[in-house]
Structure 1
Amino acid sequence: MLVIFDCDGVIVDSEIIAAQVFAEHLQGLDLNVTPEECFARFKGYSMKTCMKELVEMLGGPIPEHFLRGMQAETFARFESELKAISGIEHAISGVERDGWRTCIASGGSHSKMRVTLGKVGLWEHFEGRIYSAVDVVNGKPAPDIFLYAAEQEAVAPERCVVIEDSQAGVEAALAAEMPVFFYDPQEEGLRDKALLAHDRVYPFCQMAQLPALLKMM
């Protein structure tokens, strides 16, 4: 059995930081977008998908150095501000102690995860079991990244469980025919309320609860 963890918002508390930097750089392009709007609009999506949407917002090409500058500032902010999600170390150790294998499958790039996981001391723990949207054709909400992770770990999809915090990730897990534990610490739910009623979606709000919840499956 394999537990597939998302990274941003599940292992590292990176999404608010990234949304703040993204909003600041969008404002530099005369787009009046708040960090909260960035968070809601882009959460769970790969950078490739975000840049496609930005082209539509601008009505034309993205300035040449936009992405490089934004990523450099984001990584710098991660180095000074990033923390692990509360309870994640307990969750990982408990899940593995109970006999589950673990890996990471994220919309983020490998370079980003090297920074974020390295900052919280988990890069070496997961090294060799980290999969990115850049490894597949389609990012979330397509199932590609989860199916790819299962294939690389030589585990059948029906023997996998996904831990996610975004609607795109939940949709991707269901499309891969994998049950998904939806981490929702603020109990905000999903834009598509019907997803929460799906019999393979399990909302929870405290990461340290995960090992006990998996035992109840």
Structure 2
Amino acid sequence: MRYDLVIFDNDGVLVDSEPLSNTILAGYLTELGHPTSYEDSLRDYMGAAVHRVHDLILERSGERLPADFDEVFHGRVFAAFERELTPVDGALEVLEKLSADGVAYCLASSGSHERIRVGHRKTGLDTYFDERRVFSSQDVGRGKPAPDLFLHAAERMGVAPGRCVVVEDSPLGVQAAVAAGMDVYGFTAMTPAERLGGATELFGDLRELADLLR
């Protein structure tokens, strides 16, 4: 094993939440008078913390989103999660394999702790992630593409950045991992490979990961 710690992104890598959350985000922004397609939402917000939505809308329109935007958006997302969220194909198998092999791993997500917990309870991933392995952009000042979240996770797990590998499916996440001085494996199940420039490796099936890590 050439790494001491595997850091997983959550949305789109472990839980199949990106289609649900970006459909809801696009619809809600459009309702509020900021026409946004599903493809727009994936391009602009996939892998980002919700503050990026506020920042881009303000930058582009000069208007602020409503004060209750986060509450309404997350309420809609959590309701959709409870109805239809599933783990990404292969996620449970790869976590079982890493656990069996004694490989250290954790999660570093742009999502809130509540969003992570809701998704993990629904999909059974809570079996693999106690609170000591879960890090959110809530824990640091700046979300991805800043390196802060990944550096925070590595520090808390007691591993030097150069001994970590990040598993990411968003351009912002790849940028953050590179900025943190970590190798990054770009997961191409939803994101075209050309959008994950800078990744150390690219792969399209989570079941390939254990072999890649060797």
User: What's 2:146 paired with?
Assistant: 142
User: What's 1:206 paired with?
Assistant: 205
Match of 2:23 among 13, 20, 25: 20
Task: Note the 1:96-175 alignment, pairs <5 A.
Answer: 96-127=99-130, 128-175=132-179
> Are the counterparts in 2 of residues 11 and 88 from structure 1 also a CA contact under 8 Å?
yes
User: What's 1:78 paired with?
Assistant: 81
1:66 aligned onto 2:66: no
SS class of match (1:10): coil
SS class of match (2:186): strand
1:155 counterpart letter in structure 2? V
Q: Could you tell me how far apart the structure 2 residues matched to 1:169 and 1:187 are?
A: 12
User: Given the two structures, how large is their TM-score scaled by the length of structure 1?
Assistant: 0.92
> Are the counterparts in 2 of residues 94 and 211 from structure 1 also a CA contact under 8 Å?
yes
SS class of match (1:191): helix
SS class of match (1:90): helix
Structure 2 residue runs without a partner (length 5+):
none
Q: CA deviation at 1:67?
A: 2.2
The percent of aligned pairs where both chains have the same amino acid is 38
Coordinate RMSD, CA, aligned: 1.5
Q: Could you tell me how far apart the structure 1 residues matched to 2:85 and 2:119 are?
A: 7
User: What's 2:47 paired with?
Assistant: 44
1:179 aligned onto 2:204: no
> Are the counterparts in 2 of residues 46 and 139 from structure 1 also a CA contact under 8 Å?
yes
Structure 1 residue runs without a partner (length 5+):
none
SS class of match (1:126): coil
Q: CA deviation at 1:192?
A: 6.4
The number of aligned residues is: 210
Q: Could you tell me how far apart the structure 1 residues matched to 2:82 and 2:194 are?
A: 30
1:204 counterpart letter in structure 2? F
Match of 2:10 among 7, 10, 27: 7
Q: Could you tell me how far apart the structure 2 residues matched to 1:70 and 1:185 are?
A: 25
SS class of match (2:107): strand
User: What's 2:195 paired with?
Assistant: 191
2:183 counterpart letter in structure 1? P
Q: CA deviation at 1:160?
A: 0.9
Match of 1:30 among 25, 33, 40: 33
1:13 counterpart letter in structure 2? D
Q: CA deviation at 1:186?
A: 4.9
Could you tell which deviates more after superposition, 91-100 or 107-116?
Answer: 91-100
